[in-house]
Amino acid sequence: MVTTKAYDALEVIARLRYLNFNLVVFTQNGLGVLEAAEEVLGSGRVAQLVLNHGVYYSEEREEFVWVGGSRSYIGTRGEPPSYLYHLVDYFRVLNVEVVRNIEPYRWLKLAVNASINALTAVLGVPNGYLAKVPELASATRLVAREVAEVAKRIGIELPADPEEEAIKVAEKTAGNISSTLADLRKCRKTEVDYINGAVVKLGRDLNVPTPYNELLYYLVKSLEVMCRHV
């Protein structure tokens, strides 16, 4: 299991190439890590866990707080190995389902992350505001819609409406502080390059406009820089 931030996972992948193992499961958000792992380790030994749970660390309580979630998914970008079905027994408490192709679920989570993480980070608010304030709900939908357009261009059919999914997740995890906002509050590097940044890059390659994701990407990157120089 590799549970690091996306930017640290690349170093882990480089070290894993020298180890003997059957399967490595990645949990990172966004795009780039799974692709790099398949290239270095081989697609038959790489799986992705799309974890749909909201958790944040409470400084006051000095503990991690679960604020909601739904079914999560694990699989490969092809036929999953048989032992993956046994592995999910260890994740029973998380309600994890094995799927034959993880890609649609990964992209649905990407649409949710791109909208919720970036918007809450820029605004400095918990997830619930995006569902509660009409103007923010509209902005959330616009960001998720762009991700869906990029996915559509490369032939990925999402398993649910990404706009509705983003709003639903914001409601279910209303009290959650997104990982991007948490990182900025601690002056840590964010994963925005693998989320909104990846959407923008792929959109450019495919000639799909992504202005909302691009603006959020620049804003979050600017907040990273400002945090380190204040």
DSSP string of the chain, one letter each residue: -B-S-HHHHHHHHHHHTTS--S-EEE---SSSHHHHHHHHH-GGGEEEEE--EEEEEETTTTEEEEEEE--EEEEBSBSPPTHHHHHGGGGGGGTEEE-S--HHHHHHHHHHHHHHHHHHHHHT--TTHHHHSHHHHHHHHHHHHHHHHHHHHTT---SS-HHHHHHHHHHHTTTPPPHHHHHHHTT---SGGGTHHHHHHHHHHHT---HHHHHHHHHHHHHHHHHHH-
Catalytic residue among 5, 109, 168, 172: 109
Catalytic, 109? Answer yes
Q: Quote the CA–CA distance of 29 and 43 in Å, as a whole number.
A: 18
Please list the active-site residues.
Answer: 109
